[in-house]
Structure 1
Amino acid sequence: MTNLVVKHLSKTIKYIFAKNQGQPEALQRNFAAFIPHQFGDHSKCEARFCGHKRKPGVKYLHRSLPYKARLKNPALCEKLVSLFEPIVGNTTVYSDLGSSQACEAAHRSASLRAPKHLHYGESESLDYRLKATAACINEGKSYLSEVNDS
């Protein structure tokens, strides 16, 4: 496999994840069609993603692959199918993968309540601050004021 083929496959995988986020059945169908599509078998493809299905009369070109031609090595096809079998079987796990924005926001919120330069590490204050941050994220912004009122 050349670098161009690897880049094409990774770009296609990213596209499959992006277009099927939160849809485990669609993700499974598209991953099942992913490898055969690269080798010219469009029987499992959906018209939504496959130019060959959308325009059956027109010669289909793989724009990102070398020479714009399908892959032809049967041994590579078998290896890729066996490599992606576990992924196709676990698509329910992968369908909810999304942006890391929520994690980044939680990290920022925790770092605001317990800044590293103030060294809360050896006190119980750090534990309280991180738990309060988690409660605010999970329960909402009004959590701390509710606790203070009670």
Structure 2
Amino acid sequence: MTRSVRLILLASLALNLALGASLAWLVFQPGRAALETRQRETPTMFRPEALRRALPKERSEVVDAVLARHRDAMHTRIRAQSQARDGVREALRAEPFVRSQLEDAFARLRDAEGHTAEEAHALLVDLASRATPEERERLSRIMKNRHGSRERHRSDH
């Protein structure tokens, strides 16, 4: 076996080991699955930790007061949204499959998502009305678009 072939095989082995280690690290990160589940089930706009980080620590009582004011309504709406998702899953699994049941389940999910968004918006309006201009600027930076990436303000529209 020539020296160049040995080097190529060695490099290939090293790359395969690196790839395997990377995949193992991604799969076995502690707490990752729980975090991803929470992120999927919690509407993007309603992350208390992000709202708390947007205001200075000495103003945390403002965030806490707004969260307390909206907590029960938000939890109710999130529960309804979760139940509506369960309904979609049940309609998908149903045998025999009935298209109209799935369509109805999706309609209930859209309705529940709309109510959840309304409450999240009310919470944000409440918080913004108590925030300083600098704090509102920080709040604006945590708003994300539908796909989870930060909004890009472009002047070329």
Question: Does the alignment reach a TM-score above 0.5?
Answer: no
TM-score, with length taken from structure 2:
0.29
Higher relative contact order (CA 8 A, sep 6+): 2
- TM-score, length basis structure 1: 0.30
